[in-house]
């Protein structure tokens, strides 16, 4: 029976690794999948698991961007090290809004918004917004095409968009990418900055969940969590590379249509099942 639980966890890790980076809402997908694939664990553990599994996905960003984000690399010039530090300063500015909002409203959000109705509505709403924004920007050229052109004020405003992702079904990457595009960044810079913002946000969110749950794992719980994180890490490496290659030649409208279709299917399923 425990082998079956590990198979469930591997599947959840695959879903997390894909949906964390594509703008289609990882938390939303995990909540929906939990309706069909029930882990044999306490509700407190599952609530913690659905957040902390994202640490595996975040480590993929750390791996892929280690040199770019490392201000102490011996292979960088003094100027390159300064530019790297500036990226981190902008990331810090960008995570302040979501960090504050998360600390203040985490319990309320868990109690009132973690359900399939919220997920479905947010999937559809942001799917429509992606299509509208991409159509509006079709003939426009981005004004921000490098991190040196990204101002601290713009980084903060992108951070305000990230606050919206606290609502399940919104998508953290979706909210930040959409906000960044609205503010004039290229899709590539929008995606990369979204990745970088995820590092402190997800480490902070995971630490908060672990603190609330406690660190007294059983051996079984530890193995489940570790398996999910490793799976999410491996899948995330490929998902990030796919997204960066995809947006060099395509816009985000396909993800918008996916969100709309999935949201409609979710509403239809739960209406029929009730």
- For residue 185, the cross-strand partners are 144
What is the residue range of 137's domain?
Answer: 2-273
Which of 46-55, 75-84, 98-107, 196-205 ranks highest by mean pLDDT?
A: 75-84
How many distinct structural domains can be found in the chain? 1
What mean pLDDT is reported for the chain? 91
Helix axes of 219-246 and 187-213: crossing angle, nearest 10 degrees: 170
The pLDDT tens digits for 212-271 are 888 888 889 999 999 999 999 999 999 999 999 999 889 999 999 999 999 998 899 888
pTM above 0.85, yes or no: yes
pLDDT band at 41 (very low <50, low <70, confident <90, very high): confident
Position 238 scores a pLDDT of 96
Closest CA to 165 of 2, 19, 9, 17: 19
Distance CA 201, CA 97 (A): 10
């Amino acid at each position: 029976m425990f082998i079956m639980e590990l198979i469930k966890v591997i599947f959840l890790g695959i879903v997390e690794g894909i949906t964390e980076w594509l703008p289609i809402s990882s938390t939303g997908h995990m909540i929906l999948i939990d309706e069909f694939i029930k882990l044999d664990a306490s509700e407190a553990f599952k609530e913690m698991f659905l957040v902390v599994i994202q640490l595996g996905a975040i480590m993929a960003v750390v791996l892929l961007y280690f040199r770019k984000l490392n201000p102490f690399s011996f292979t960088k010039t003094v100027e390159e090290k300064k530019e790297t530090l500036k990226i981190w300063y902008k990331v810090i500015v960008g995570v302040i809004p979501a960090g504050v909002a998360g600390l203040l409203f985490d319990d309320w959000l868990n109690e009132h918004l973690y359900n399939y109705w919220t997920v479905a509505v947010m999937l559809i709403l942001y799917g429509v917004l992606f299509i509208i924004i991409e159509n509006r920007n079709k003939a426009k050229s981005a004004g921000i095409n490098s991190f040196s052109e990204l101002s601290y004020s713009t980084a903060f405003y992108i951070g305000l968009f990230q606050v919206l992702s606290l609502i399940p079904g919104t998508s953290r990457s979706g909210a930040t990418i959409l906000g960044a595009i609205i503010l004039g960044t290229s899709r590539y810079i929008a995606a990369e900055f979204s990745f970088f913002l995820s590092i402190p946000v997800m480490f902070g969110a995971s630490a908060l969940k672990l603190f609330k749950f406690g660190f007294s794992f059983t051996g079984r719980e530890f193995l489940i969590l570790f398996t999910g994180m490793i799976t999410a890490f491996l899948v995330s490496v490929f998902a990030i590379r796919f997204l960066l290659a995809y947006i060099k030649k395509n816009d985000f409208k396909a993800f918008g249509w996916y969100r709309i279709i999935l949201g409609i299917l979710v509403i239809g399923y739960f209406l029929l099942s009730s």
